[in-house]
Amino acid sequence: MVGYTTIDCIIGGQVLSAVSGGSMTIQVGIIVVAIVTLIIAVFGMRIFHKYEQYAWIPQVIVLAVLIGTAGPYFDAAAEPTVTGSTLAANRLSFFTLCFYVPNSWAAAASDFYVYYPERTSRLKIFLLTATGLTLSFNLVYLIAIGLATGLTNNKDWTDANAVSTGALIVAAYDPLHGFGRFCSVVIALGVIANSTPSIYSAALGCQVLGRYGKAVPRWSWSCVLTLIALVLAMAGREHLLVIFQNFVALMGYWVMLMICIVGMEHALFRGRKGFDWTAWEDKSYLPVGYAAFASFILGWVGAILGMSQVWYIGPISEAASLADLGMWLGCGFALVTFPILRFIELKVVKR
């Protein structure tokens, strides 16, 4: 979650800097985004929920304006630069990268759904979650793809993209002049709606690490985590794409392994008996975690064999035209090993 906040701070800082014509540095823009994120996250769920309830509306409006302004420069007929197995591998890698980001909310969803009434329909929660993630991410993915296709035929966009991703967004609004700069600021502030839940959830995650983590107030964790994100954003402000490519993939491997293990625990071993939510802190009730840990490690073995990153290419990925198969192999390893190991764990440890 801190990693996503880092990316949000960099993007917001880049946009604010580009809107100001360079009079505001990226560093100052990053600080602005981080401070506003911290203020909302510190004051708790009530303020956070009220902000999130309305923050999406101006975002949808300015994104619609962006489509109308930049759309004529999108090149939907652009031909692929590669063919055959390489094209298929690149498409799979891109799909996998896009798949990681919305799935990462699986690590934080319970921090917010716990505020729902106990009798809320599980189907309703699933449909709301799936619909919200699908619509929101697909919209910005398609806009980003459109901007990328326009780089070839629009020199202003190419020059702006050489400065930063934020500058490219501002350049796309250029035909609207002053109103376009206003829309760019709304886009920049919109990343706060994404970074705030990340910090809020990460702070809760620190508290559940153990009794010592719980003893530290949530607002204190929010301050520490925001400071960490701020430092990381400052250090990596010139390397957004590298950070995104490397961090999101690693986060995706981890999250998907967690989803597989938790999903199988629920479906195969807890489906009928359910959970005793009052015993969430009782060590004698909770699983010892041997099976989950072993399956997680084995899943990472699969991920390493299939990953395709700048700093490492697994042997299976190399044989598959450099397709990023890390997530798929990792999930396969975990899905096969966890039921067996968990069954043994229940027989031996009894919980």
Concatenating the DSSP letter of every residue in 26-82 gives HHHHHHHHHHHHHHHHHT-HHHHHHHHHHHHHHHHHHHHHHHHHHGGG--TTPPPSS
Average pLDDT, the chain: 84
- Each residue's pLDDT tens digit, 249-271: 788 888 889 999 988 988 888 76
Distance between CA atoms of 139 and 144, rounded to whole angstroms? 9
Looking at the chain, the whole-number percentage of residues with pLDDT higher than 90 is 14
Cα–chain-centroid distance for residue 21? 29
Distance between CA atoms of 235 and 217, rounded to whole angstroms? 28
15, 21 Cβ separation under 8 angstroms? no
pLDDT band at 341 (very low <50, low <70, confident <90, very high): very high
Burial group, residue 10, by CB count within 10 angstroms (0-12, 13-18, 19+): buried
- Each residue's pLDDT tens digit, 221-258: 888 888 888 888 888 777 766 666 666 778 888 888 99
Give the predicted TM-score (pTM) of the model.
Answer: 0.80
pLDDT band at 67 (very low <50, low <70, confident <90, very high): very high
Residue 277 has pLDDT above 80, yes or no: no
Q: Which residue has the tokens 């190399």?
A: 318
- Each residue's pLDDT tens digit, 138-151: 888 899 888 888 88
Mean pLDDT calculated for residue range 181-196: 83
Looking at the chain, the whole-number percentage of residues with pLDDT higher than 70 is 96
